[in-house]
Amino acid sequence: MSTTYHRPRTGRPHAAPPPPRPQRSPAPAVLAALYAGGAAVLASWWTSTPTVTGAGGWLTGAGRIAGLLAGYACAVLVALMARVPVLERRVGSDRVARWHAAAGRWTVCLVAAHAVAVLAGYAAQDHRGVAGEAVDVVFHYPDMLIGTAGGVLLIAVGVVSARAVRRRVSYETWYHLHLLTYLAVFLAFFHQVSLGAQFAGDATARVVWCLLYGGAGALVAWYRVWTPVRLNRRHRLRVAAVVPEAPGVCSVVIHGERLAELGAEPGQFMRWRFLSGRLAGTSAPYSLSAPPRDDALRITVKAVGGHSAAVAGLRPGTRVWAEGPYGALTARRRARHKVVLIAGGVGVTPLRALFESLPARPGDLTLLYRAREAEDLALWPELTAIAEARGARVLPLLSGADATRGVLTPDGLRALLPDIAAHDAYLCGPPGLMADAHAALRSAGVPGRRIHHESFEL
């Protein structure tokens, strides 16, 4: 078996592909279901709550509403963390990640509002101070210590996940702290069922709540535990070779058994855990940088942190634990014959796989590759070989000293592709580059529905 992908497959016929039929995203239906669930939670409070009177009663009622919605949001958080294939592959991992981040922010706010409003309401009803009421509730009410611990953990995870804080901690630290969400939700669940006024005398409500949390837990157990175990026992992945590609960039070729059964598509990524030293403690997402083969997969990694920098030191034979494939940046999104791919830095990796594999006639494919200097153009020999074999174009857009700037503007895109408005566009690269490219494409006449990208900046 070969340990390299450096010679792309060539010689395939350039027959015109059938008209593309883009796959519709189920995102609107999923969001509608989530909002309907929230409305049902509000309805349960409305139908089970007697007349509310006085400031204390209104404060307590508001706190209970916030608590119910926080409990519902906790179940949604867990379900969104489960990596359900229909969400990860059709909605898109980046959109699911944004939903998860938004749900997390709402959960933290609702937990805080629940605690403040309920304690203020109890204090008003008991005619005492909020601090004294808080001490009495936390230390004398059944299961309140458990609920408090769960709430504190949720808020702590929310603080660590805030963008300003996350930028200052390593990916490994954030990843392991983020797993505390499961413990926080577990503790909060028992607090809700034990003390929740909506569940105290309503067996049906308790059963529905248990089914909600049980379903979310089952998704996690199936897709984050059992599915990866089955995948790795079946495919037995190992590092075959590590190949330097550019300064600070290397490719890792991974061999395995019956890899066609993975169903991986060009443009997708997997989460990789290399069972070697410090790398064994963290899984990280890396895109496939070439179309998958029956016996091998390839990723290309740039050293931007501790984990990615250590990848270059992997030795052949190292065992690999993988999850996936994930992501919706695939040919399924395509709606037009003509396609422009815009890459920045190591963001070229999924687009290189698409550049080789997208069905196209000569002249239909163009890859624009932004980098600082020519030596930073990772996989450049492969890209030029693919372009020559397929009758496609690959153009370097260098931003360093004495190099061309400003090409990613509406006029610059029209100069390169006069019919740019008739193209689909795939983007991958740093957030700033993708924002500029997206704006330029829209101004050049490409509809937003034909601009495809995935970003994990939350």
C-beta neighbour count of 110 within 10 angstroms? 22
Helix (H) or strand (E) holding 255: strand 249-255
Output the CATH code of domain 236-326.
2.40.30.10
State the average pLDDT over residues 335-352.
92
Q: How does residue 19 score in pLDDT terms, banded at 50, 70 and 90?
A: low
Q: What is the mean pLDDT of the chain?
A: 85
Residue 362 has pLDDT above 90, yes or no: yes
Q: Rounded to whole angstroms, what are the CA distances from 259 to 235, 292, 293, 308?
A: 7, 8, 7, 24
CB 242 within 8 Å of CB 252: yes
- Enter the pTM of the model: 0.81
Q: Which of 116-125, 261-270, 291-300, 360-369 has the lowest mean pLDDT?
A: 116-125
State the average pLDDT over residues 107-116.
89
Q: How does residue 164 score in pLDDT terms, banded at 50, 70 and 90?
A: confident
C-beta neighbour count of 270 within 10 angstroms? 25
pLDDT in the model for residue 458: 45
pLDDT in the model for residue 401: 53
pLDDT in the model for residue 437: 92
Q: How does residue 2 score in pLDDT terms, banded at 50, 70 and 90?
A: very low
- For 371, list phi and psi in degrees, rounded to 5: -150, 165
* DSSP classification of residue 163: H
CA distance 437 to 456: 17
Total residues found in the chain within this entry:
458
Residue 57 has pLDDT above 50, yes or no: yes
State the average pLDDT over residues 28-46.
91
Q: Which two tokens stand for residue 85?
A: 């294939």
pLDDT in the model for residue 423: 94
CB 340 within 8 Å of CB 313: no
State the average pLDDT over residues 353-360.
93
Residue 127 has pLDDT above 90, yes or no: no
Output the CATH code of domain 333-453.
3.40.50.80
Q: Beta strand pairing status for 423-428 and 393-398?
A: unpaired
CB 165 within 8 Å of CB 301: no
Helix (H) or strand (E) holding 439: helix 431-443
Is residue 179 packed enough to be buried (19+ CB in 10 Å), middle (13-18) or exposed (0-12)? exposed
User: Could you write out the DSSP letters of every residue in 179-226?
Assistant: THHHHHHHHHHHHHHHH-HHHHT-HHHHHHHHHHHHHHHHHHIIIIII
CB 308 within 8 Å of CB 172: no
Q: Which of 266, 274, 191 is nearest to 232 (CA)?
A: 274
CA distance 140 to 132: 12
pLDDT in the model for residue 31: 92
Percentage of the chain with pLDDT > 90?
40
Q: How does residue 400 score in pLDDT terms, banded at 50, 70 and 90?
A: low
Q: How does residue 9 score in pLDDT terms, banded at 50, 70 and 90?
A: low
CB 295 within 8 Å of CB 235: no
State the average pLDDT over residues 141-151.
79
